[in-house]
């Protein structure tokens, strides 16, 4: 899966700024009017031909959102977001939902190509073995191309855009949408519920092991358009699915808001692995113009013996506010969170996880590796809690931070709550610096400073990289190196 | 091969090297002895290009080419190797991975192709066997949890693999037991060659009875105070450094 590899090469090749994908396509787009109102929501819902229940659901969210305040507890700072100045819907005019890639706007394909996204899936289309990654590409807000659907359909796996799911599988959507992240969960999730435009839907039926890794690339393209993705993944009893998400965005002057919601549901004995490589525009050298990434990701281990793993490599965004969480409801269920968060320049990252132990003998594991360089701020915030009934709950948390240079900061904020005396929670944390002596040792052996930093950093994040699917891991490793370019010397 | 001319260097404004002059010919093994704090490690760091030392006067030439303007990695690619007195740990990076990265980085700088994986493994294994380094150790993170002696052996392994022309060894013998000392000395001796030179910093005659030097220099208070043949090492062993106690510059 060469997506990230190609992107990395491209970044290397175009040596203009810290972030080198500053272009936008000239595809005409169709926008809803600026700002947030019943009319805009009606417009979005109408565009998608949604049923009344969903429109009502959105209205309810809007009503609740108007009563909420933007949270301010995270260690991030940004200019006030003018929600009335944003566009909440933009769709490429052509290619509203083509049946095949041939029908996709060539301009659009070119954009993907520039990004190195293998949407064209040369390999896949040519039928090359080993390139079997299904891509549900989201261009701005509308899914314009989906590959490998038939193969998945054979296995009974549903993988489509959420709009399509609303039309084709309304019962599943209605049953599970908002069941993990309720409409009123938090400011950004509620906003998303009101205006979500598109995203992915996955359903893996009972006993089915999804025959390939499912993958989505996100890209924000339209100027001033908030991106409100909504993803819903359901693994029915005894099933397994691995889902990969990766993203890039073009350069912009104004900050761009991204408030996605991802809901995962694992029933009895099911397992979901969700991996993210996130590389949005972090802002220029002064920290201007990057993406604001306020995401709600939550997995519900609803059934007994179920398992949900989050693995994330975060290298982008001006501001990241993100806490992929697990609700360990089923007895013996397991939650995992593996994270690498790299911050450089003026980036602000406040990320972590929540593990809520509700069922008996539930187990969670948190491995977080924060790397701060430049003048960035990197905070790990984690909550582990055991409910009264969570007898025998266990958690192991390991949080390591690595500082590169003198002007960055790393912070660890663990919260632990236990209402059951038999729960056992362990927490380890370290903060280290790349020592001058370590760098000198490596350079004496022939590595240049950047290679030396990359090598040391890769050693630092090894435990997490190992959790990613192989190809993804190799590319994530390179992406990390690119993100840290220019952090020493 | 290596020529050091009237080298002055300081750290945080404090002069440490105060006019070191020294030449090492191709094929030569030169030893540097001298009391603690006389500037031996500093000299090795300055030769290798460590950032925090400021050279205020003098020259360091490798085959007539000045090293002082080069970054440490360029010097390494030119064939300079420093075996550290205190080798550093690189957590999470398997020794094999580190060795390969270093070797290929040097080859790249010299415009050579990357080494073929099979050749790489063969040469690492060969060098490791000679030095009594186990395969298991090669898979572990570099120097992490290695004993003092194991770290020193690992330095020699790297030296053998990188095939430098100018090898500077800073107290590679300290912390070694008798067997390890013999193994390390054999490792060095087997690398002795017409076109390769060694600068061996040590406190002990013991090492020099295994690696017999061509010349011995005594460093005191940031200068070479005396030079001679191997017999000078014996003399020092008997008499100590009393004669070279810091004295005002002549
Ligand atoms: N970072 C530093 N700041 C101040 N002084 C330093 C620094 N590094 C070294 N020195 C001083 O420089 C002098 C020479 O140190 P150096 O390590 O070169 O000695 P050495 O001959 O290698 O000693 P040893 O035999 O103990 O290894 C010492 O007085 C030491 O304290
Ligand atoms: Mg020393």
Please report the pLDDT score of residue A144 as a whole number.
36
Q: Please say whether the beta carbons of A195 and A231 come within 8 A.
A: no
Measured in angstroms, the CA of B140 and the nearest CA of chain A are apart by: 11
Q: Kindly report the backbone phi and psi dihedral angles of residue A52, in degrees, each rounded to the nearest multiple of 5, phi listed first.
A: -60, -40
Q: Quote the percentage of chain A above a pLDDT of 70.
A: 73
Q: Which of A438, A443, A461 sits opposite B72 (nearest CB)?
A: A443
> What is residue B242's DSSP assignment?
G
- pLDDT value of position B97: 93
Please determine, for residue A250, whether its predicted confidence score (pLDDT) is greater than 80: no
Exposure of B12 by Cβ count < 10 A (0-12 exposed, 13-18 middle, 19+ buried)? exposed
Task: Give the DSSP letter of residue A202.
Answer: E
Tokens of A34: 């600026």
Outline where DSSP puts E strands in A28-80.
Answer: 29-31
CA nearest to A443 within chain B = B73
**B100 φ, ψ (degrees, to nearest 5):** -65, -40
Regarding predicted confidence, which is higher, A307 or A284? A307
Whether A437 and chain B come into contact, CB under 8 Å, resolves to yes
- Spatial CA neighbour of A180 closest among A251, A254, A230: A230
CB contact under 8 Å between B106 and A462, yes or no, is no
Q: What is the DSSP string of B117-182?
A: HHHHHHHHHHHHHHTT--HHHHHSBTTTT--HHHHHHHHHHHHHHH--SEEEEESTTTT--HHHHH
pLDDT tens profile A44-85? 898 888 999 999 999 999 999 999 988 877 677 777 888 887
- How far is B149 from A391, CA to CA, in rounded Å? 49
Name which of B75, B101, B141 is nearest A447 (Cβ-Cβ): B101
- Across the interface, whether the CB atoms of B48 and A448 are under 8 A apart is answered no
Least distant ligand from the CA of B11: 1
Please give the residue of chain A at the shortest CA–CA distance from B78: A446
B165 CA to middle of ligand 2, Å? 22
Whether residue B76 has pLDDT greater than 70: yes
- Quote the CA–CA distance of B189 and B210 in Å, as a whole number: 8
Q: Which of B216, B240, B214, B241 is nearest to B228 (CA)?
A: B216
Residue B250 lies in a domain: no
Distances (CA, A) of B159 to B81, B155, B162, B241: 7, 6, 5, 31
Q: In this predicted model, what pLDDT tens digit does every residue of A311-369 receive, in sequence order?
A: 998 886 677 788 999 999 999 999 999 999 888 888 888 889 999 999 999 999 999 99
Give B93's contacts in chain A (Cβ within 8 Å).
Answer: 455-456, 458-459, 462
Decide whether any atom of ligand 1 lies within 6 Å of the B223 Cβ.
Answer: no
Q: Rounded CA gap, B21 and B221, in Å?
A: 13
User: How many angstroms away from the CA of B106 is the closest CA of chain A?
Assistant: 5
pLDDT band at A97 (very low <50, low <70, confident <90, very high): very low
- Per the CB < 8 A criterion, the answer to whether A315 and A347 are in contact is no
- CB A323, CB A260: distance < 8 Å: no
Asked whether residue B56 carries a pLDDT value surpassing 60, the answer given is: yes
Q: What is the total residue count of chain B?
A: 250
Q: How many folded domains does chain B comprise?
A: 1
Q: Is A440 within 8 Å of chain B by CB?
A: yes
Cβ-based neighbours of A37, under 8 Å, separated by 6 or more: none
Q: Is residue B9 part of a domain?
A: yes
Ligand 1: residue whose CA is nearest its atom 25: B36
Between the CA of A441 and the centroid of ligand 2 the distance, in Å, is: 15
Nearest CA to ligand 1 atom 5: B11
User: Per the structure block, which two tokens stand in for A288?
Assistant: 């201007």
Average pLDDT over residues A156-168: 90
**pLDDT-based confidence at residue A33 (cuts at 50, 70, 90):** confident
> Which of A151-155, A306-310, A394-398, B28-32 comes out lowest in average pLDDT?
A151-155
Q: In which order are the strands placed within the sheet that holds A142-146?
A: A142-146, A134-139, A214-219, A240-248, A271-278, A307-314, A334-343, A363-372, A394-403, A424-433
Among chain B residues, the shortest Cα distance to A460 is held by B92
A453-479 residue pLDDT tens: 989 998 999 889 888 877 677 777 777
Distance from CA of B238 to the nearest CA of A (A): 35
- Which pLDDT value is given to residue B165? 95
- Which residue segment(s) compose the domain that B144 sits in? 2-245
Cβ of B41 below 6 Å from ligand 1: yes
Atom 7 of ligand 1, residue of closest alpha carbon: B11
CA distance B77 to chain A (A): 6
Answer yes or no: is B94 within a domain. Answer: yes
Residues 6+ apart with CB under 8 A from A265: A176, A179, A180, A232, A233, A234, A235, A299, A300, A302
CA of B237 to the centre of ligand 2 (A): 18
**Residue A78: predicted pLDDT:** 76
Residue B31 lies in a domain: yes
Query: What CATH code is carried by the domain that includes residue B149?
Result: 3.40.50.300
Length of chain A (residues)? 489
Provide, as residue numbers in chain B, all residues whose Cβ is less than 8 Å from the Cβ of A445.
Answer: 76, 98, 102, 105-106, 158, 162
Whether residue B205 lies inside any domain: the answer is: yes
Q: DSSP for A434-458?
A: --HHHHHHHHHTT--HHHHHHHHHH
| Nearest-CA residue for atom 13 of ligand 1 | B37
Checking if the pLDDT of A226 tops 60, the result is no
What average pLDDT score do residues B169-175 get?
89
pLDDT bucket at A6, cuts 50 / 70 / 90: very low
Does an H or E element contain A149, and which? helix A149-155
User: Domains of chain A: which residue ranges?
Assistant: 3-483
- Which of A319, A340, A412 lies closest to A76, judged by CA? A319
Count A/B contacts: CB-CB distance under 8 Å.
Answer: 78
Q: A-chain residues within 8 Å CB-CB of B88?
A: 435, 437-438, 441
- The reported pLDDT for the residue numbered A4 is 41
| A459 to chain B: closest CA residue | B92
Most confident of A134-138, A415-419, B204-208: A415-419
B38 lines ligand 1 (CB under 6 A): yes
Position A283 scores a pLDDT of 67
- Interface probe, candidates A446, A460, A461, A477, chain B, greatest B C-beta count within 10 A: A446
Residues of chain B in Cβ contact (below 8 Å) with chain A: 48-52, 71-73, 75-77, 81-82, 84, 87-93, 97-98, 101-103, 105-106, 109, 141, 158, 162
Higher-pLDDT residue of B7, A347: B7
Mean pLDDT of chain A: 78
3-state secondary structure of B232: helix
Q: What percent of chain B has pLDDT over 90?
A: 76
Q: Which of A433, A440, A442, A444 to mutate to test the interface with B (most CBs of B within 10 A)?
A: A444
C-beta of B194 in contact with ligand 1 (< 6 A): no
| Spatial separation of the C-alpha atoms in residues A260 and A265, rounded to whole Å | 17
Residue A441 confidence (pLDDT) above 90? yes
Q: CB-CB: which of B77, B87, B91 is closest to A446?
A: B77
At A372-398, the pLDDT tens digits run: 888 888 889 899 999 999 999 999 999
- Partners of A372 in the β-ladder: A343, A403
Give every CB contact of residue A267 below 8 A, 6+ residues apart in sequence: A234, A235, A236, A237, A239, A302, A303, A306
Closest CA to ligand 1's atom 17: B41
With a 6 Å cutoff on the Cβ, whether B39 touches ligand 1 is yes
Is residue B187 within 8 A of residue B160, CB to CB? The reply is: yes
E-state strands within A168-290: 200-204, 214-219, 230-235, 240-248, 256-258, 261-266, 271-278
ipTM (interface pTM): 0.95
Residues of chain B with pLDDT > 70: what percent? 98
Residues contacting residue A347 through CB under 8 Å, at least 6 positions apart: A282, A283, A287, A290, A317, A318, A319, A320, A374, A376, A377
pLDDT above 70 (res B249): no
């Amino acid at each position: 899966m060469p997506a990230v590899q190609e992107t990395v090469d491209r970044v290397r090749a175009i040596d203009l700024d810290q972030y080198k994908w500053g272009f936008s396509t000239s595809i005409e787009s169709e926008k809803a009017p600026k700002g947030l109102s019943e009319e805009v929501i009606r417009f979005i819902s109408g565009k998608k031909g949604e049923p009344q229940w969903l429109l009502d659901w959105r209205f309810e969210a809007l009503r609740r959102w108007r009563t909420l305040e933007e949270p301010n507890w995270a260690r991030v700072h940004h200019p006030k977001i003018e929600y009335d100045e944003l566009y909440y819907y933009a769709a490429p005019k052509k290619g509203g939902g083509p049946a095949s890639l041939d029908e996709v706007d060539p301009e659009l394909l070119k954009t993907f190509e520039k990004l190195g996204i293998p949407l064209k899936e040369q390999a896949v289309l040519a039928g090359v073995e080993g390139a079997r990654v299904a891509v549900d590409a989201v261009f701005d807000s509308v899914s314009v191309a989906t590959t490998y659907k038939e193969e998945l359909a054979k296995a009974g796996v549903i993988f489509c855009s959420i709009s399509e799911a609303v039309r084709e599988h309304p019962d599943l959507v209605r049953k599970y949408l908002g069941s993990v992240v309720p409409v009123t969960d938090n400011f950004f999730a509620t906003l998303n519920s009101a205006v979500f435009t598109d995203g992915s839907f996955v359903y893996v039926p009972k006993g089915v092991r999804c025959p390939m890794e499912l993958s989505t690339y996100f890209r924000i393209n339209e100027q001033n358009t908030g991106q409100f993705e909504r993803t819903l993944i359901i693994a029915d009893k005894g099933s397994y699915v691995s889902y990969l998400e990766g993203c890039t965005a073009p350069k912009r002057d104004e900050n761009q808001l991204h408030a996605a919601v991802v809901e995962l549901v694992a029933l009895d004995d099911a397992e979901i692995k969700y991996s993210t490589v996130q590389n949005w525009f972090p802002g220029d050298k002064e920290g201007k113009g990057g993406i604001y990434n306020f995401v709600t990701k939550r997995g519900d281990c609803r059934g007994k013996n179920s398992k949900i793993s989050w693995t994330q490599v975060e290298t982008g965004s001006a501001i990241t506010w993100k806490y992929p969480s697990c609700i360990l409801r089923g007895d013996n269920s397991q939650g995992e969170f593996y994270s690498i968060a790299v911050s450089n320049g003026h980036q602000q990252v406040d990320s972590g996880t929540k593990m809520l132990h509700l069922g008996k003998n539930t187990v969670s594991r948190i491995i977080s590796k924060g790397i701060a360089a430049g003048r960035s701020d990197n905070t790990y915030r984690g909550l582990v809690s055991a409910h009264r009934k969570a007898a025998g709950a266990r958690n192991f948390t390991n949080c390591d931070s690595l500082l590169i240079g003198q002007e960055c900061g790393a912070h660890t904020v663990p919260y632990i709550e236990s209402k059951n005396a038999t729960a056992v929670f362990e927490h380890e944390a370290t903060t280290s610096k790349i020592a001058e002596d370590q760098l000198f040792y490596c350079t004496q052996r022939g590595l240049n400073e950047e290679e030396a930093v990359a090598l040391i950093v890769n050693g630092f994040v090894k435990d997490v990289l190992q959790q990613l699917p192989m190809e993804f891991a190799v590319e994530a490793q390179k992406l990390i190196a690119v993100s840290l370019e220019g952090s020493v010397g | 091969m290596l020529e050091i001319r009237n080298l002055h260097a300081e750290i945080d404004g404090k002069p440490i090297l105060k006019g070191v002059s020294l030449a090492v010919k191709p094929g030569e093994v030169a030893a540097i002895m001298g009391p603690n704090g006389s500037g031996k490690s500093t000299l090795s760091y300055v030769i290798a290009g460590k950032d925090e030392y400021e050279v205020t006067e003098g020259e360091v030439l490798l085959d007539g080419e000045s090293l002082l303007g080069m970054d440490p990695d360029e010097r390494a690619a030119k064939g300079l190797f420093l075996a550290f007195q205190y080798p550093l740990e690189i957590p999470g990076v398997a020794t094999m991975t580190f060795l390969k990265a270093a070797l290929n980085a040097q080859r790249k700088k010299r415009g050579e192709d990357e080494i073929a994986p099979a050749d790489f493994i063969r040469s690492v294994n060969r060098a490791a066997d000679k030095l009594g380094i186990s395969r298991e150790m090669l898979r572990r993170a570099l120097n992490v949890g290695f004993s003092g002696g194991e770290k020193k052996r690992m330095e020699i392994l790297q030296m053998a693999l990188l095939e430098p022309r100018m090898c500077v060894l800073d107290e590679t013998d300290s912390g070694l037991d008798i067997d390890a000392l013999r193994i390390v000395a054999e490792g060095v001796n087997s690398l002795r060659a017409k076109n390769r030179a060694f600068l061996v910093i040590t406190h002990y005659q013991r090492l020099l009875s295994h690696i017999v030097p061509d010349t011995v220099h005594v460093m005191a208070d940031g200068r070479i105070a005396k030079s001679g043949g191997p017999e000078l090492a014996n003399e020092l062993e008997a008499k100590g450094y009393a004669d070279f106690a810091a004295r005002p510059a002549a």
